[in-house]
Structure 1
């Protein structure tokens, strides 16, 4: 009986394992691979943000082309939005699989990445304020003018060839048009579809001047050596061009772009209408700031103790760390962590890179704050504790550090406030924080000021609240001083 029972149990286990294996194989076969697109969705009608059925969606004819590429590969398309000048680092570091963002296959870019066959050609245009339309009607009339162009674009090369031109290069087209609207530049060089879709037709116009560029074609970028993906993309592009689908996508994207209406909203109305964007941004800002503060606090305390120790190597390492991180811009540190470390096969997600950068940078400043607080405590207290039999660690923990912490609490609170504000730099690597959401709204609406004004108010509320909480904590800790 027991033998039969054992055999039955063995057979049951074999059946269950077989079924599990078959299910796992079937699940693996059904699991769809993904392909990541890198783009800068501020280039209407190529790629831009638009609210569709209440959901923020990246649309445009470049996006439609990317969808066809993914479909032919049998993959699910994942879109990663970032600034234009960050696209090449995103691609070369392996964070995205291919790039479509109205990018010209220049010789300089070909040194870093490979390009597909061209899929579209567009003419360049000059955008000016309406009152200057006749003044800048030829390319010769732009000599000595203040010219706005998108950073790392073919238009930057065109502007560089205009004699005595004062060139302003920015990341975003809306920022360039705002520069034009406020009189900081005299003209903006942009492609005709971009200019026509983004400019305010009430105050701006396209002149008769016709810029000429050596390379006005657009192509898809892939990492060097990825021949399989490049060949598949070329096949898709050939099909789309032959069937006139690219022009169809251009027309459809133009219709979507034309659907934008300039809204006259006050700041509160603007916030309320787009509150979902800001609420999402607040969540990311608080998450990154809180974790940056937490890890920075711990690391800063360790660095302070290392610097004050009698061990030469620890003192040297902590001093070198503090000097390096205090002496270099946080944005540079962010780019090194996010884009350079992948060369050593060390990859972080944008959120992880942001938290790591904030933690490492703030730790350098907090270390000096802690050191000043510890040195401010009378050394005789440590000696008295040691004479009573307490170890050095116990004396530091129970006597010195509590007093030091109370003394430097205002400085610590100030550093925490700085971290919340400085967290806005993570928008450069595509983290959906408060500043990133503001940039999305600036690109998807005609509002130049309200998106930033709302963000500024929210940052103020966050920092003001933290300041008051730190004040309450400071008063509680110092209550014993008045007894």
Structure 2
């Protein structure tokens, strides 16, 4: 190999390396910014929440409380910004989120494939399936889906969420009654205006304590497997990675358990 040939080879290699570095720089320059950058620049984390789903989110006296409200505050602190809660309804939740009204949606949101088509989910933070709740006197009557799905049985649901979806998918003979207030809906069962509601198992446990005369039915053996997570912007892997890591640390350090116990135990 001659000196001239060697020089030409090194020159070609250098040009190739420069071209490769140029392409990398261009790719980096064109990479989309993360919502995390916008949140830090703005100075607040905008959180969509329904405020009607105890123990996760409850609007009270002009503010919010619940498991996911405290966790939202923790997430905002981890980012270094202030939390700002944005009111929404279950029927509007996905549209409000995808239209840019908030950076994240929190508050007992079930992971579903339909929602996954339009948004990212954080890693699930809780397994929480569907379980019935009824007057204690009727508890033995409603042990299974088949027990509930009978003529003469009225199933009450809040519109727009996975509770309504579960009811419509599984109850073809029972009457499905829509009731728009998810806070007072359980009182309708006590008043005899409905026979039963199917909700997240943790919610039925909480409402059993709050409403003497109502009994959660097999909440530890739910009728349907379910997971809960936080809605995140579709395609934003940077923001999702941050939220997932924060959630991992919240669980590993005991912060998550402390907040959970505050509202459930």
Matches of 1:143 and 1:67, distance apart in 2: 41
Match of 2:125 in 1: 119
Paired position in structure 2 for 1:248: 258
TM-score relative to the length of structure 2: 0.74
Which of 151, 154, 159 is residue 159 of structure 2 equivalent to? Answer: 151
Alignment of 1:440-459 (within 5 A): none
Pick 1 or 2: higher relative contact order, CA cutoff 8 A, min separation 6.
2
> CA offsets, 1:332-362, max 9 Å, x none?
xxxxxxxxxxxxxxxxxxxxxxxxxxxxxxx
Deviations 1:109-150 (A, max 9, x none): 111111111111224321112332232234331122221223
Aligned partners of 2:176 and 2:73: how far apart in 1?
A: 36
Q: 1:246 to 1:170 in 2, by over 3 A?
A: farther
Whole-Å separation in 2 of the counterparts to 1:57 and 1:74: 21
Contact preservation (8 Å) 1:150, 1:172 = yes
**1:198-277 mapped onto 2 (5 Å cutoff):** 198-199=207-208, 200-208=210-218, 210-214=221-225, 216-254=226-264
Name the structure with the higher helix share: 1
Instruction: Give the deviation of 1:108 after TM superposition.
Output: 0.6
Describe the SS at the equivalent of 2:260. Answer: helix
- Count of paired positions: 221
Corresponding residue to 1:47 among 41, 49, 57:
57
Q: Report SS of the residue matched to 2:143.
A: coil
Give runs of aligned pairs for residues 71-220 of structure 1, distance below 5 A: 71-144=77-150, 145-159=153-167, 160-199=169-208, 200-208=210-218, 210-214=221-225, 216-220=226-230
Structure 1 pair 225/170, CA: closer, same or farther in 2 (3 Å)?
farther
Q: How far off is 1:31 after superposition?
A: 8.4
User: For 1:143 and 1:87, how far apart are their aligned partners in 2?
Assistant: 28
For the pair shown, which has the larger CA radius of gyration, 1 or 2? 1
Give distance in 1, aligned partners of 2:123 and 2:186: 31
CA contact (8 A) 1:65 1:246 kept: yes
Q: Distance in 1 between matches of 2:111 and 2:180?
A: 18
Distance in 2, matches of 1:181 and 1:246, equals: 33
Distance of 1:138 and 1:93 partners within structure 2: 39
| Residue aligning to 2:32 | none
Distance in 2 separating the partners of 1:138 and 1:189: 11
Unaligned runs of 5+ in 1: 1-29, 256-483
1:387-445, Cα deviation, whole Å (9 max, x unpaired): xxxxxxxxxxxxxxxxxxxxxxxxxxxxxxxxxxxxxxxxxxxxxxxxxxxxxxxxxxx
1:219 is displaced (CA, Å) by 0.7
Superposed CA RMSD in Å reads 2.4
Decide which structure has greater strand share: 2
Aligned to 1:429: none
Tell me how far apart the structure 2 counterparts of residues 207 and 243 of structure 1 sit (CA, whole Å): 33
Q: Distance in 2 between matches of 1:122 and 1:208?
A: 12
Post-superposition shift, 1:242? 2.4
Partner Cα separation in structure 2 for residue 208 and residue 74 of structure 1: 41
Write out aligned runs for 1:396-475 (5 A). Answer: none
Note the residue ranges of structure 2 that are not aligned, 5 or more in a row. Answer: 1-39
Alpha-carbon displacement from aligned partner over 1:264-316 (angstroms, at most 9, x marks no partner): xxxxxxxxxxxxxxxxxxxxxxxxxxxxxxxxxxxxxxxxxxxxxxxxxxxxx
TM-score by length of 1: 0.42
Whether the aligned pair in 2 keeps the contact of 1:50 and 1:57 (CA below 8 Å) is: yes
Aligned equivalents of 1:150, 1:239: Cα separation in 2: 34
